Structure 1
Amino acid sequence: MTVPDIRTLWFRGKSAPTARVRLLCFPHAGGAAGAFHDWAALAPPEIEVVAVQYPGRQDRFHEPCASTMEELADTITTALRWELTDDRPLALFGHSMGSSVAYEVARRLEEDPSHTLTRLIVSGRHRPRLPEEQAPRPVPTDPEVLDYVRLLDPEGADLYEHPELQPLIMPALRADFGLLARYRPTHLHQLGVPVTVCGGDRDPVCTIEDLKSWSDVTPKGLDLRVFEGGHFYLRQRQEELLAFIAAQPA
Protein backbone atom coordinates (compact mmCIF):
# COMPACT_ATOMS: atom_id res chain seq x y z
CA MET A 1 0.00 0.00 0.00
CA THR A 2 1.32 3.44 -0.95
CA VAL A 3 1.79 5.77 2.00
CA PRO A 4 0.33 9.18 1.16
CA ASP A 5 2.38 12.34 1.32
CA ILE A 6 1.68 15.08 3.81
CA ARG A 7 1.56 18.18 1.66
CA THR A 8 -0.13 21.27 3.03
CA LEU A 9 0.76 24.93 2.71
CA TRP A 10 3.17 24.79 5.65
CA PHE A 11 4.15 21.12 6.02
CA ARG A 12 5.80 18.41 3.91
CA GLY A 13 6.30 14.78 4.82
CA LYS A 14 5.12 11.21 4.43
CA SER A 15 2.41 9.72 6.60
CA ALA A 16 3.48 7.04 9.07
CA PRO A 17 0.20 5.63 10.40
CA THR A 18 1.82 3.57 13.17
CA ALA A 19 4.15 6.31 14.41
CA ARG A 20 3.96 7.19 18.10
CA VAL A 21 5.36 10.70 17.61
CA ARG A 22 5.63 13.28 14.85
CA LEU A 23 9.05 14.91 14.46
CA LEU A 24 8.47 18.42 13.15
CA CYS A 25 11.63 19.79 11.52
CA PHE A 26 12.57 23.46 11.11
CA PRO A 27 15.17 24.40 8.44
CA HIS A 28 18.17 26.71 8.71
CA ALA A 29 18.30 30.29 7.37
CA GLY A 30 17.64 30.27 3.64
CA GLY A 31 16.68 26.60 3.90
CA ALA A 32 13.51 24.79 2.97
CA ALA A 33 11.59 21.61 3.78
CA GLY A 34 13.66 19.77 1.19
CA ALA A 35 16.59 19.80 3.62
CA PHE A 36 14.83 16.94 5.42
CA HIS A 37 13.77 15.04 2.31
CA ASP A 38 15.71 11.88 3.17
CA TRP A 39 14.74 11.74 6.83
CA ALA A 40 11.42 9.94 6.36
CA ALA A 41 13.16 6.95 4.76
CA LEU A 42 15.86 6.88 7.42
CA ALA A 43 13.66 7.33 10.48
CA PRO A 44 12.30 4.29 12.34
CA PRO A 45 8.59 3.54 11.81
CA GLU A 46 7.64 4.94 15.21
CA ILE A 47 8.64 8.44 14.05
CA GLU A 48 6.75 10.40 11.40
CA VAL A 49 9.00 13.10 9.91
CA VAL A 50 7.33 16.33 8.78
CA ALA A 51 9.26 19.41 7.67
CA VAL A 52 8.12 23.02 7.83
CA GLN A 53 8.08 24.93 4.54
CA TYR A 54 8.72 28.59 5.28
CA PRO A 55 7.24 31.12 2.83
CA GLY A 56 9.46 32.74 0.21
CA ARG A 57 11.26 29.63 -1.08
CA GLN A 58 10.77 26.65 -3.41
CA ASP A 59 7.04 26.25 -4.15
CA ARG A 60 6.26 29.23 -1.87
CA PHE A 61 8.76 31.50 -3.62
CA HIS A 62 6.23 34.18 -4.55
CA GLU A 63 4.95 34.59 -0.98
CA PRO A 64 6.57 37.22 1.22
CA CYS A 65 9.04 35.94 3.78
CA ALA A 66 8.29 36.47 7.45
CA SER A 67 9.82 39.70 8.71
CA THR A 68 9.94 38.84 12.42
CA MET A 69 10.40 35.72 14.51
CA GLU A 70 7.09 36.40 16.23
CA GLU A 71 5.24 36.45 12.91
CA LEU A 72 6.87 33.22 11.76
CA ALA A 73 6.26 31.33 15.02
CA ASP A 74 2.68 32.56 15.31
CA THR A 75 1.75 31.48 11.79
CA ILE A 76 3.40 28.07 12.12
CA THR A 77 1.58 27.41 15.40
CA THR A 78 -1.72 28.41 13.81
CA ALA A 79 -0.98 26.20 10.80
CA LEU A 80 -0.39 23.23 13.11
CA ARG A 81 -3.88 23.68 14.48
CA TRP A 82 -5.52 23.82 11.04
CA GLU A 83 -3.31 21.68 8.78
CA LEU A 84 -2.20 18.83 11.09
CA THR A 85 -5.43 18.20 12.93
CA ASP A 86 -4.77 14.85 14.63
CA ASP A 87 -3.61 14.61 18.21
CA ARG A 88 -0.32 12.79 17.59
CA PRO A 89 2.34 14.01 20.06
CA LEU A 90 4.96 16.36 18.65
CA ALA A 91 8.72 16.59 19.07
CA LEU A 92 10.36 19.62 17.47
CA PHE A 93 13.76 19.60 15.75
CA GLY A 94 15.41 22.78 14.53
CA HIS A 95 18.81 23.37 12.97
CA SER A 96 20.63 26.71 13.18
CA MET A 97 17.93 29.41 12.68
CA GLY A 98 15.41 26.58 12.89
CA SER A 99 16.41 26.04 16.54
CA SER A 100 15.17 29.52 17.43
CA VAL A 101 11.97 29.03 15.42
CA ALA A 102 11.36 25.65 17.06
CA TYR A 103 11.88 27.16 20.53
CA GLU A 104 9.36 29.92 19.82
CA VAL A 105 6.82 27.41 18.47
CA ALA A 106 7.42 25.21 21.54
CA ARG A 107 6.62 28.19 23.76
CA ARG A 108 3.32 28.65 21.97
CA LEU A 109 2.41 24.96 21.89
CA GLU A 110 2.64 24.75 25.66
CA GLU A 111 -0.38 27.05 25.74
CA ASP A 112 -2.22 25.21 22.94
CA PRO A 113 -4.25 22.16 24.04
CA SER A 114 -4.62 20.89 20.46
CA HIS A 115 -1.13 19.32 20.43
CA THR A 116 0.99 17.52 23.01
CA LEU A 117 4.64 18.60 22.99
CA THR A 118 7.11 15.94 24.16
CA ARG A 119 10.57 17.39 23.50
CA LEU A 120 12.52 20.23 21.89
CA ILE A 121 15.63 19.21 19.93
CA VAL A 122 17.91 22.03 18.83
CA SER A 123 21.03 21.93 16.70
CA GLY A 124 23.90 24.20 15.78
CA ARG A 125 22.75 27.33 17.63
CA HIS A 126 22.97 29.03 21.01
CA ARG A 127 19.81 29.72 23.02
CA PRO A 128 18.02 33.01 22.28
CA ARG A 129 19.93 36.03 23.51
CA LEU A 130 18.21 38.77 25.48
CA PRO A 131 18.50 42.49 24.66
CA GLU A 132 20.85 43.07 27.59
CA GLU A 133 23.10 40.23 26.38
CA GLN A 134 23.31 41.35 22.77
CA ALA A 135 21.55 44.28 21.15
CA PRO A 136 19.74 43.76 17.84
CA ARG A 137 22.26 43.98 15.03
CA PRO A 138 22.10 45.88 11.75
CA VAL A 139 20.64 43.78 8.96
CA PRO A 140 23.66 42.36 7.12
CA THR A 141 24.39 43.29 3.54
CA ASP A 142 24.31 40.63 0.81
CA PRO A 143 28.14 40.38 0.72
CA GLU A 144 28.18 39.95 4.52
CA VAL A 145 25.53 37.23 4.28
CA LEU A 146 27.49 35.39 1.60
CA ASP A 147 30.72 35.64 3.61
CA TYR A 148 28.93 34.08 6.57
CA VAL A 149 27.48 31.31 4.39
CA ARG A 150 30.98 30.53 3.11
CA LEU A 151 32.15 30.22 6.71
CA LEU A 152 29.28 27.91 7.69
CA ASP A 153 29.10 25.81 4.55
CA PRO A 154 32.33 25.97 2.52
CA GLU A 155 31.35 22.88 0.52
CA GLY A 156 27.92 24.19 -0.47
CA ALA A 157 28.70 27.89 -0.82
CA ASP A 158 29.29 27.65 -4.58
CA LEU A 159 25.54 27.30 -5.02
CA TYR A 160 25.06 30.85 -3.76
CA GLU A 161 27.60 32.22 -6.25
CA HIS A 162 25.74 30.91 -9.31
CA PRO A 163 24.34 33.97 -11.16
CA GLU A 164 21.24 32.13 -12.38
CA LEU A 165 20.40 30.77 -8.94
CA GLN A 166 21.08 33.88 -6.88
CA PRO A 167 17.72 35.54 -7.70
CA LEU A 168 15.96 32.40 -6.42
CA ILE A 169 18.10 31.90 -3.32
CA MET A 170 19.02 35.34 -2.03
CA PRO A 171 15.55 36.74 -1.16
CA ALA A 172 14.88 34.06 1.48
CA LEU A 173 18.46 34.10 2.75
CA ARG A 174 18.42 37.89 3.02
CA ALA A 175 15.06 37.87 4.82
CA ASP A 176 16.08 35.16 7.28
CA PHE A 177 19.32 36.90 8.23
CA GLY A 178 17.36 40.11 8.75
CA LEU A 179 14.86 38.27 10.94
CA LEU A 180 17.68 36.87 13.07
CA ALA A 181 19.38 40.26 13.36
CA ARG A 182 16.18 41.70 14.87
CA TYR A 183 15.29 38.74 17.10
CA ARG A 184 15.77 39.46 20.80
CA PRO A 185 13.07 38.05 23.12
CA THR A 186 12.46 40.13 26.24
CA HIS A 187 12.83 37.10 28.52
CA LEU A 188 13.60 33.39 28.40
CA HIS A 189 10.53 31.22 28.67
CA GLN A 190 11.06 28.07 30.74
CA LEU A 191 9.77 25.10 28.77
CA GLY A 192 7.98 22.28 30.56
CA VAL A 193 9.58 19.61 28.37
CA PRO A 194 13.14 18.21 28.13
CA VAL A 195 15.55 19.83 25.68
CA THR A 196 18.05 17.88 23.59
CA VAL A 197 20.96 19.75 22.01
CA CYS A 198 23.12 18.61 19.09
CA GLY A 199 26.06 20.13 17.28
CA GLY A 200 29.22 19.55 15.31
CA ASP A 201 32.62 19.39 16.99
CA ARG A 202 34.11 21.68 14.32
CA ASP A 203 31.27 24.20 14.03
CA PRO A 204 32.96 27.61 13.50
CA VAL A 205 30.07 29.64 14.96
CA CYS A 206 28.48 27.46 17.64
CA THR A 207 30.71 26.27 20.46
CA ILE A 208 30.01 23.56 23.01
CA GLU A 209 29.33 26.33 25.56
CA ASP A 210 26.78 27.80 23.13
CA LEU A 211 25.04 24.43 22.99
CA LYS A 212 25.04 24.13 26.78
CA SER A 213 23.37 27.54 27.06
CA TRP A 214 20.03 25.87 26.28
CA SER A 215 19.99 24.61 29.87
CA ASP A 216 18.65 28.08 30.71
CA VAL A 217 15.28 27.36 29.07
CA THR A 218 14.29 24.12 30.79
CA PRO A 219 14.23 22.72 34.33
CA LYS A 220 13.53 19.27 32.86
CA GLY A 221 17.10 18.41 31.99
CA LEU A 222 19.39 18.88 29.01
CA ASP A 223 20.78 16.09 26.84
CA LEU A 224 23.84 17.11 24.81
CA ARG A 225 25.31 15.18 21.89
CA VAL A 226 28.25 16.38 19.81
CA PHE A 227 28.80 14.80 16.40
CA GLU A 228 31.84 14.83 14.17
CA GLY A 229 31.61 17.64 11.66
CA GLY A 230 31.07 21.33 11.07
CA HIS A 231 27.96 23.48 11.16
CA PHE A 232 26.14 21.20 8.72
CA TYR A 233 27.34 17.99 10.35
CA LEU A 234 23.80 16.60 9.99
CA ARG A 235 24.20 16.13 6.23
CA GLN A 236 26.90 13.51 6.74
CA ARG A 237 25.51 12.20 10.04
CA GLN A 238 21.84 11.79 9.15
CA GLU A 239 21.51 8.15 10.17
CA GLU A 240 23.52 8.63 13.36
CA LEU A 241 21.54 11.74 14.29
CA LEU A 242 18.16 10.11 13.64
CA ALA A 243 19.14 7.04 15.68
CA PHE A 244 20.07 9.35 18.55
CA ILE A 245 16.79 11.25 18.25
CA ALA A 246 14.80 8.00 18.18
CA ALA A 247 16.52 6.85 21.36
CA GLN A 248 15.40 9.91 23.32
CA PRO A 249 12.64 9.20 25.87
CA ALA A 250 9.19 10.24 24.71
Structure 2
Amino acid sequence: MSEIKVRLCCLPYAGASASVYMRWKRQLPSYIELIPLELAARGRRFGEAPYSSVEDAVSDIDLMMQNILSDDKPVILFGHSMGALLSYEWLRRQHENKGRLPERAILSARSAPQFVKMEESIVGLPDGPFIEKVADYGAADASVLSLPEMRDVFVPILRADFAIIERHTQQRIESKKVADKIPVPVQVWYGEDDNSLRGEMEGWKNWFQHDFQVDCFPGNHFYIVEHEELVVSRLAACCYSIMQEQLQV
Protein backbone atom coordinates (compact mmCIF):
# COMPACT_ATOMS: atom_id res chain seq x y z
CA MET A 1 0.00 0.00 0.00
CA SER A 2 2.79 2.43 0.85
CA GLU A 3 4.14 2.16 -2.69
CA ILE A 4 1.07 3.87 -4.13
CA LYS A 5 1.01 7.63 -3.77
CA VAL A 6 -2.06 9.77 -4.14
CA ARG A 7 -1.23 13.23 -5.40
CA LEU A 8 -3.16 15.97 -3.61
CA CYS A 9 -2.92 19.16 -5.71
CA CYS A 10 -4.10 22.35 -4.01
CA LEU A 11 -4.94 25.76 -5.48
CA PRO A 12 -4.94 28.77 -3.11
CA TYR A 13 -7.47 31.50 -2.48
CA ALA A 14 -7.14 35.12 -3.63
CA GLY A 15 -3.93 36.79 -2.52
CA ALA A 16 -2.43 33.57 -1.12
CA SER A 17 0.60 31.55 -2.14
CA ALA A 18 1.11 27.81 -2.17
CA SER A 19 2.69 28.05 1.29
CA VAL A 20 -0.76 28.22 2.93
CA TYR A 21 -1.05 24.47 2.36
CA MET A 22 2.46 23.46 3.48
CA ARG A 23 1.32 23.12 7.11
CA TRP A 24 -0.76 20.15 6.01
CA LYS A 25 2.28 18.15 4.94
CA ARG A 26 3.32 16.99 8.40
CA GLN A 27 -0.24 15.88 9.19
CA LEU A 28 -0.85 13.81 6.07
CA PRO A 29 -0.01 10.09 5.79
CA SER A 30 3.11 9.13 3.85
CA TYR A 31 1.14 7.71 0.92
CA ILE A 32 -0.16 11.21 0.07
CA GLU A 33 2.05 13.48 -2.01
CA LEU A 34 0.99 17.06 -1.25
CA ILE A 35 1.48 19.37 -4.25
CA PRO A 36 0.57 23.00 -3.51
CA LEU A 37 0.35 24.73 -6.90
CA GLU A 38 2.08 28.10 -6.96
CA LEU A 39 0.30 30.76 -8.98
CA ALA A 40 2.13 33.61 -10.66
CA ALA A 41 3.14 36.79 -8.77
CA ARG A 42 3.33 35.18 -5.31
CA GLY A 43 5.50 32.94 -3.18
CA ARG A 44 8.46 31.51 -5.09
CA ARG A 45 7.04 33.15 -8.24
CA PHE A 46 6.97 36.61 -6.69
CA GLY A 47 8.11 39.13 -9.27
CA GLU A 48 6.34 37.45 -12.17
CA ALA A 49 3.52 39.38 -13.80
CA PRO A 50 0.05 38.61 -12.41
CA TYR A 51 -2.52 36.96 -14.64
CA SER A 52 -4.55 39.21 -16.93
CA SER A 53 -7.51 36.83 -16.98
CA VAL A 54 -8.87 33.61 -15.51
CA GLU A 55 -8.09 32.00 -18.87
CA ASP A 56 -4.40 32.93 -18.46
CA ALA A 57 -4.39 31.43 -14.98
CA VAL A 58 -6.02 28.23 -16.26
CA SER A 59 -3.42 27.94 -19.03
CA ASP A 60 -0.66 28.23 -16.45
CA ILE A 61 -2.35 25.66 -14.20
CA ASP A 62 -2.62 23.37 -17.21
CA LEU A 63 1.14 23.43 -17.68
CA MET A 64 1.62 22.41 -14.06
CA MET A 65 -1.07 19.73 -14.14
CA GLN A 66 0.09 18.04 -17.35
CA ASN A 67 3.33 17.02 -15.67
CA ILE A 68 1.47 15.82 -12.57
CA LEU A 69 -0.93 13.76 -14.71
CA SER A 70 1.82 12.24 -16.84
CA ASP A 71 1.86 8.89 -15.02
CA ASP A 72 -0.83 6.66 -13.55
CA LYS A 73 -0.72 7.89 -9.97
CA PRO A 74 -4.20 8.97 -8.78
CA VAL A 75 -4.77 12.71 -8.40
CA ILE A 76 -7.16 14.76 -6.28
CA LEU A 77 -7.59 18.46 -7.07
CA PHE A 78 -8.52 20.76 -4.17
CA GLY A 79 -9.29 24.47 -4.57
CA HIS A 80 -10.49 26.97 -1.97
CA SER A 81 -12.51 30.09 -2.91
CA MET A 82 -10.71 31.56 -5.95
CA GLY A 83 -8.86 28.26 -6.08
CA ALA A 84 -12.19 26.47 -6.49
CA LEU A 85 -13.11 28.76 -9.38
CA LEU A 86 -9.77 28.07 -11.08
CA SER A 87 -10.12 24.34 -10.39
CA TYR A 88 -13.52 24.23 -12.05
CA GLU A 89 -12.40 26.23 -15.08
CA TRP A 90 -9.36 23.99 -15.53
CA LEU A 91 -11.53 20.86 -15.21
CA ARG A 92 -13.93 22.27 -17.80
CA ARG A 93 -11.12 23.02 -20.26
CA GLN A 94 -9.50 19.64 -19.66
CA HIS A 95 -12.80 17.88 -20.32
CA GLU A 96 -13.39 19.87 -23.51
CA ASN A 97 -9.87 18.99 -24.70
CA LYS A 98 -10.44 15.31 -23.83
CA GLY A 99 -7.46 15.28 -21.50
CA ARG A 100 -6.98 13.10 -18.45
CA LEU A 101 -9.06 14.25 -15.51
CA PRO A 102 -8.18 13.80 -11.83
CA GLU A 103 -9.81 10.97 -9.91
CA ARG A 104 -11.68 13.47 -7.74
CA ALA A 105 -12.18 17.22 -7.29
CA ILE A 106 -12.94 19.08 -4.07
CA LEU A 107 -14.31 22.61 -4.53
CA SER A 108 -14.29 24.65 -1.34
CA ALA A 109 -16.02 27.90 -0.36
CA ARG A 110 -17.19 28.95 -3.81
CA SER A 111 -20.75 29.37 -5.08
CA ALA A 112 -21.89 27.27 -8.02
CA PRO A 113 -21.61 29.22 -11.31
CA GLN A 114 -25.35 29.84 -11.67
CA PHE A 115 -25.40 31.77 -8.38
CA VAL A 116 -22.42 34.02 -9.07
CA LYS A 117 -23.55 37.62 -9.54
CA MET A 118 -21.76 40.82 -10.43
CA GLU A 119 -21.02 42.94 -7.39
CA GLU A 120 -19.85 46.55 -7.44
CA SER A 121 -16.20 46.59 -8.51
CA ILE A 122 -13.73 47.07 -5.68
CA VAL A 123 -10.49 46.85 -7.65
CA GLY A 124 -10.12 50.60 -8.17
CA LEU A 125 -10.76 51.59 -4.54
CA PRO A 126 -7.99 53.23 -2.49
CA ASP A 127 -6.07 50.84 -0.25
CA GLY A 128 -8.10 51.51 2.92
CA PRO A 129 -11.58 50.90 1.49
CA PHE A 130 -10.23 48.06 -0.67
CA ILE A 131 -8.81 46.28 2.37
CA GLU A 132 -12.10 46.75 4.23
CA LYS A 133 -14.09 45.25 1.35
CA VAL A 134 -11.70 42.32 0.98
CA ALA A 135 -11.99 41.68 4.72
CA ASP A 136 -15.80 41.87 4.51
CA TYR A 137 -15.71 39.18 1.82
CA GLY A 138 -13.65 37.02 4.14
CA ALA A 139 -10.73 37.00 1.73
CA ALA A 140 -8.12 38.53 4.05
CA ASP A 141 -7.47 39.81 7.55
CA ALA A 142 -7.77 43.63 7.63
CA SER A 143 -5.55 43.90 10.74
CA VAL A 144 -2.72 42.10 8.95
CA LEU A 145 -3.08 44.15 5.76
CA SER A 146 -3.02 47.37 7.78
CA LEU A 147 0.69 46.76 8.42
CA PRO A 148 2.63 48.70 5.76
CA GLU A 149 5.07 45.87 5.00
CA MET A 150 2.19 43.40 4.53
CA ARG A 151 0.03 45.86 2.58
CA ASP A 152 2.80 46.62 0.11
CA VAL A 153 3.26 42.92 -0.67
CA PHE A 154 -0.26 41.53 -0.62
CA VAL A 155 -2.60 44.32 -1.74
CA PRO A 156 -1.25 44.33 -5.35
CA ILE A 157 -1.71 40.54 -5.51
CA LEU A 158 -5.24 40.81 -4.12
CA ARG A 159 -6.11 43.58 -6.59
CA ALA A 160 -4.87 41.46 -9.50
CA ASP A 161 -6.81 38.41 -8.27
CA PHE A 162 -10.03 40.35 -7.73
CA ALA A 163 -9.63 41.99 -11.14
CA ILE A 164 -9.60 38.65 -12.99
CA ILE A 165 -12.46 37.32 -10.84
CA GLU A 166 -14.58 40.40 -11.59
CA ARG A 167 -13.82 40.17 -15.31
CA HIS A 168 -14.61 36.46 -15.37
CA THR A 169 -17.89 37.00 -13.50
CA GLN A 170 -18.98 39.60 -16.04
CA GLN A 171 -18.07 37.32 -18.93
CA ARG A 172 -20.00 34.42 -17.40
CA ILE A 173 -23.09 36.60 -16.91
CA GLU A 174 -22.92 37.79 -20.52
CA SER A 175 -22.21 34.35 -22.00
CA LYS A 176 -25.13 32.11 -22.97
CA LYS A 177 -22.93 29.04 -23.46
CA VAL A 178 -23.87 26.02 -21.37
CA ALA A 179 -20.89 23.88 -20.41
CA ASP A 180 -20.97 20.10 -20.63
CA LYS A 181 -21.18 18.30 -17.32
CA ILE A 182 -17.74 17.16 -16.22
CA PRO A 183 -17.32 13.41 -15.57
CA VAL A 184 -15.40 13.77 -12.29
CA PRO A 185 -16.61 12.72 -8.83
CA VAL A 186 -16.82 15.98 -6.89
CA GLN A 187 -17.18 17.08 -3.30
CA VAL A 188 -18.06 20.66 -2.39
CA TRP A 189 -17.08 21.92 1.06
CA TYR A 190 -18.01 25.07 2.95
CA GLY A 191 -18.08 26.54 6.45
CA GLU A 192 -21.46 26.59 8.20
CA ASP A 193 -20.99 30.25 9.21
CA ASP A 194 -20.23 31.35 5.64
CA ASN A 195 -23.76 32.69 5.14
CA SER A 196 -23.19 33.84 1.56
CA LEU A 197 -22.76 30.20 0.49
CA ARG A 198 -25.62 28.62 2.36
CA GLY A 199 -28.08 27.08 -0.09
CA GLU A 200 -25.80 27.60 -3.09
CA MET A 201 -23.42 24.66 -2.82
CA GLU A 202 -25.95 22.05 -3.97
CA GLY A 203 -26.04 23.89 -7.29
CA TRP A 204 -22.65 22.44 -8.20
CA LYS A 205 -24.38 19.13 -9.02
CA ASN A 206 -25.64 20.76 -12.24
CA TRP A 207 -22.06 20.98 -13.51
CA PHE A 208 -20.84 17.43 -12.86
CA GLN A 209 -22.09 14.10 -14.12
CA HIS A 210 -22.04 11.87 -11.05
CA ASP A 211 -20.87 11.12 -7.49
CA PHE A 212 -21.73 14.52 -6.01
CA GLN A 213 -21.39 15.26 -2.29
CA VAL A 214 -21.77 18.38 -0.12
CA ASP A 215 -19.90 18.62 3.20
CA CYS A 216 -20.42 21.38 5.75
CA PHE A 217 -17.64 22.16 8.23
CA PRO A 218 -17.73 24.24 11.42
CA GLY A 219 -16.38 27.74 10.89
CA ASN A 220 -16.56 30.57 8.37
CA HIS A 221 -15.08 31.21 4.93
CA PHE A 222 -11.66 30.19 6.20
CA TYR A 223 -12.74 27.03 7.99
CA ILE A 224 -9.72 25.34 6.38
CA VAL A 225 -7.54 27.42 8.73
CA GLU A 226 -9.86 27.48 11.75
CA HIS A 227 -10.36 23.71 11.71
CA GLU A 228 -7.21 22.57 10.00
CA GLU A 229 -6.95 19.17 11.70
CA LEU A 230 -10.51 18.24 10.73
CA VAL A 231 -9.98 19.37 7.14
CA VAL A 232 -6.72 17.46 6.81
CA SER A 233 -8.27 14.31 8.27
CA ARG A 234 -11.14 14.53 5.73
CA LEU A 235 -8.65 15.01 2.91
CA ALA A 236 -6.64 12.02 4.12
CA ALA A 237 -9.81 9.91 4.21
CA CYS A 238 -10.66 11.00 0.66
CA CYS A 239 -7.17 10.12 -0.54
CA TYR A 240 -7.35 6.75 1.20
CA SER A 241 -10.63 5.89 -0.52
CA ILE A 242 -9.11 6.77 -3.89
CA MET A 243 -6.08 4.63 -3.13
CA GLN A 244 -8.31 1.69 -2.19
CA GLU A 245 -10.21 2.08 -5.46
CA GLN A 246 -6.94 2.00 -7.38
CA LEU A 247 -5.83 -1.16 -5.59
CA GLN A 248 -9.02 -2.89 -6.69
CA VAL A 249 -8.56 -2.06 -10.37
For normalisation by structure 2, the TM-score amounts to 0.82
In structure 1, the partner of 2:228 is 238
Q: Structure 1 pair 83/222, CA: closer, same or farther in 2 (3 Å)? A: closer
Contact persistence 1:145–1:177 (CA under 8 A): no
- 2:163 aligns with one of 178, 187, 203: 178
Q: Structure 1 pair 95/227, CA: closer, same or farther in 2 (3 Å)? A: same
* Residue 91 (structure 1) shift: 1.1
In structure 2, the partner of 1:213 is 203
Is structure 2 residue 146 aligned with structure 1 residue 156? no
In structure 2, the partner of 1:192 is 183
Name the CA distance, whole Å, in 2 between partners of 1:222 and 1:84. 23
Task: Report the 3-state secondary structure (helix = DSSP H, G, I; strand = E; otherwise coil) of the residue aligned with 2:155.
Answer: helix
- Superposition pairs of residues 119-158 of structure 1, within 5 angstroms: 119-129=104-114, 134-135=117-118, 138=121, 140=123, 141=125, 142-153=127-138, 156-158=141-143
Identity %: 29
User: Letter of the aligned partner of 1:222 in structure 2?
Assistant: F
Q: Which runs of 5+ in 2 are unaligned?
A: 243-249
Q: Structure 1 pair 154/71, CA: closer, same or farther in 2 (3 Å)? A: closer
Contact persistence 1:22–1:49 (CA under 8 A): yes
> What is the Cα-based RMSD across aligned positions, in Å?
2.5
* Residue 213 (structure 1) shift: 1.6
User: Letter of the aligned partner of 1:43 in structure 2?
Assistant: L
User: Letter of the aligned partner of 1:35 in structure 2?
Assistant: V
Deviations 1:10-57 (A, max 9, x none): xxxxxxx83432111010000110110111211222321111111111
For normalisation by structure 1, the TM-score amounts to 0.82
In structure 1, the partner of 2:216 is 226
Select the structure that is richer in helix. 2
In structure 2, the partner of 1:29 is 14
* Residue 114 (structure 1) shift: 6.7
The runs of 4+ residues in structure 1 deviating greater than 6 Å are: none
Deviations 1:131-172 (A, max 9, x none): xx7358635324453123322449933111111221111111
Name the CA distance, whole Å, in 2 between partners of 1:99 and 1:159. 24
